[in-house]
Amino acid sequence: MKESAYGDLSIIAMRGCEEFVEQVDSYIQEWRRHDSEGTFIAEASCPRFGSGEGKGLIRDSMRNRDVYIIADVFNHGVTFNMYGQTVPMSPDDHFQDIKRIIGAIGGKAKRITVLMPMLYEGRQHKRTSRESLDCAIALQELSQMGVSNFITFDVHDTRVQNAIPLCSFDNFRSTYQMIKALVAEYPDIDFDKEKIMIVSPDEGAMGRCMYYSSMLGIDLGTFYKRRNYSVIIDGKNPIEAHEYLGHNPNGMDVIVVDDMISSGESMIDVATQLKERGANRIFIFTAFGLFCNGLSMMDKAYEEGLFTRIMTTNLIYRTPELLARPWYHEVNMCKYVAYIIDTLNHDQSVSGLLDQSKRIRKLITEHNKKIGKQ
């Protein structure tokens, strides 16, 4: 039996997160059906003036409440009007709206938690020259405004939490949900180390790939990116080549794991090289699919047989076009997020939710029985 709540629960859905939050809310309502009088979603908005300026507005009292603000700062599917033009919201616009809502709460809440699945400016997490540390600055700014807990998923680099050492910062993995989705869609998948392996697309993804490898008991290979550091294109140093290190993927299924797909160029290059080395089916696991340059590149790669399926979570915005693609599979994370919020609201430890090892091992054991393996 759960302990009493830390405070009355209020969930605020920032623009673009409404559908996701409704699913989260429905789970919590079901679990608390004997105690709940209805939705836990607080009515809030960020209206805009014609100049593009905005303000935060909350229509429910937040006094002494345990508030969870859920924000997808990468949702470019929502827009606002500015000087008669329709403008898509950028990550900066979404981040400003988070601050507006915190400002509207006015210090009345008992506790404020920001759940930002893909961390704002998470790729700008370290300094390599005279450049800004945007993610660290953003975390510090929200902390100074009264946010005590930060929740994110598959963060690009967990060391960014060092910017706010006195705040709670929890990074959850989508590993279990990804593997569960794979065995459901491909029941013939065999996690024998002679038949399947994990591949990291670059050195930055090695940590999460090592976790997959150890949990599944299979081999790990990796690519490393050789960049041209003398030039900057689209805010980054261009990749000149991917070099492969590791077990020969010839005749094997391969799972490529990364935190995100931006343009998709690097992932296609990795898949191409794996196919040239004789890889069988290639499954791409990535928590966040941005596809900044559109989908045509991935369509062409799929038609050429370079990969079998791309799986991303529903933690950030997916365009209707992406959802309709035959090569795409969505992994629903709503129930997991609901568990996290429900647990924290009862002021209990989330260690069991952070550690997915037992659930993964149970899933693999049950799958092995289904395919006739002991």
Residue 232 has pLDDT above 50, yes or no: yes
Of 228 and 72, the one with more pLDDT: 72
Tell me the sheet residues that pair with 111.
66
3-state helix, strand and coil shares in percent for the chain, rounded to the nearest 5: 35, 25, 45
CA-to-CA separations, 100 to 94, 104, 139, 241, 365, in angstroms, rounded: 10, 6, 15, 43, 48
CA separation for the pair 119, 137 (Å, rounded): 12
pLDDT for the residue 146: 96
* pLDDT tens, residue by residue, 283-303: 999 999 999 999 999 999 999
- Are β-strands 239-245 and 220-227 bridged in parallel, bridged antiparallel, or unpaired? antiparallel
What rounded mean pLDDT belongs to the chain?
92
Residues 6 or more apart from 10 whose CB is under 8 A from it?
40, 41, 42, 60, 62, 65, 66, 67, 68, 109
pLDDT for the residue 228: 63
Give the number of residues written for the chain: 374
Residues 6 or more apart from 43 whose CB is under 8 A from it?
58, 59, 60
Q: Is 216 helix (H, G, I), strand (E, B) or coil?
A: helix
pLDDT for the residue 331: 97
What percentage of the chain has pLDDT greater than the value 70?
A: 93
* pTM score of the predicted model: 0.92
CA separation for the pair 281, 296 (Å, rounded): 21
Residue 320 banded pLDDT, cuts 50, 70, 90: very high
